[in-house]
Amino acid sequence: MKVLLINGSPHPRGTTYAALSEVARMLESEGIESEIIQVGHLALHGCIGCYRCFELERCVFDDEVNRVAEIFKECDGIIVGSPVHYAAPSGALLSFLDRLFYSTRFDKRDKVGASVVCARRGGCTAAFDVLNKYFTISGMPVVSSTYWNQVHGANGEEAVLDEEGMQCMRNLARNAAFLMRSISLGKEKHGLPQCEKTYRTNFIAKKNN
């Protein structure tokens, strides 16, 4: 099994990296492979709603998004980490995730998802809420821990001193390992749940003349 860890921070060895590294260390102890990919330092184009991915089966902007999409397809889970900027995830990460999730057409329901947020002080839960929506709109089981998945510190050195935050990262990894194994067993025995045809509607009623 393998988990893809996305670092949405512009700092390669900052607070977010420290948090994800603790997750990766515990996953390894559970016998699960992991890979940390940093995207927060990249100049990433946001989604332009061109819908070319419907025919190309990849994003029209051929950059890191398409490379990571191939890794994501083969993984059993994805954990997204972000610093908190103005009580929200980093802008580069949001552009990356918008395109990654929209352009990938493979079924994600047998993959687990989780988010990790890092801040010096505040805004964590607001950013945490935004990131989890990528998983829930894709039918992915969301992994929780023993608290909201947040780590505090102004840099990587301070982050490792957040004892509760680091403990939360370890418990997140343990829960992810358990859930991935459970999904694998359930899928083998029962298969995935039936998925109905998607109905795309809006809230504008046609006026009767």
Residue range 114-129, pLDDT digits in tens: 999 999 999 999 999 9
Q: Are 21 and 36 contacting, i.e. CB atoms less than 8 angstroms apart?
A: yes
DSSP label of 8: -
CATH 3.40.50.360 fits 2-190, yes or no: yes
Residue for token pair 């957040």: 162
The confidence score (pLDDT) of residue 203 equals 77
CA neighbor of 8 nearest in space, from 106, 85, 102: 85
Question: Average model confidence (pLDDT) for the chain?
Answer: 95
Distance of CA 80 to CAs 39, 57, 73, 191, 196, Å? Answer: 11, 23, 15, 27, 28
Q: From CA 98, how far away is CA 46, in angstroms rounded? A: 7
Which stretches does DSSP call E strand in the chain? 2-7, 33-38, 77-83, 112-119, 150-152
Residue range 175-207, pLDDT digits in tens: 999 999 999 999 999 998 998 888 888 877 666
Q: Tally Cβ neighbours within 10 Å of residue 182.
A: 12
| Amino acid (one-letter) located at 68 | V
Q: From CA 170, how far away is CA 70, in angstroms rounded? A: 27
Task: Write out the DSSP string of 21-40.
Answer: HHHHHHHHHTT-EEEEEE-T
Helix (H) or strand (E) holding 159, with range, is helix 156-159
Q: Are 8 and 39 contacting, i.e. CB atoms less than 8 angstroms apart?
A: yes
Q: What is the Cα 137 distance to its own chain's centre?
A: 12
pLDDT band at 208 (very low <50, low <70, confident <90, very high): low
The confidence score (pLDDT) of residue 209 equals 54
Q: Among positive and negative, which fits the CA dihedral 76, 37, 92, 79?
A: positive
The confidence score (pLDDT) of residue 100 equals 98
The confidence score (pLDDT) of residue 122 equals 95
The confidence score (pLDDT) of residue 206 equals 64
Residue range 5-37, pLDDT digits in tens: 999 999 999 999 999 999 999 999 999 999 999
The confidence score (pLDDT) of residue 207 equals 63
Q: From CA 93, how far away is CA 73, in angstroms rounded? A: 19
DSSP label of 182: H
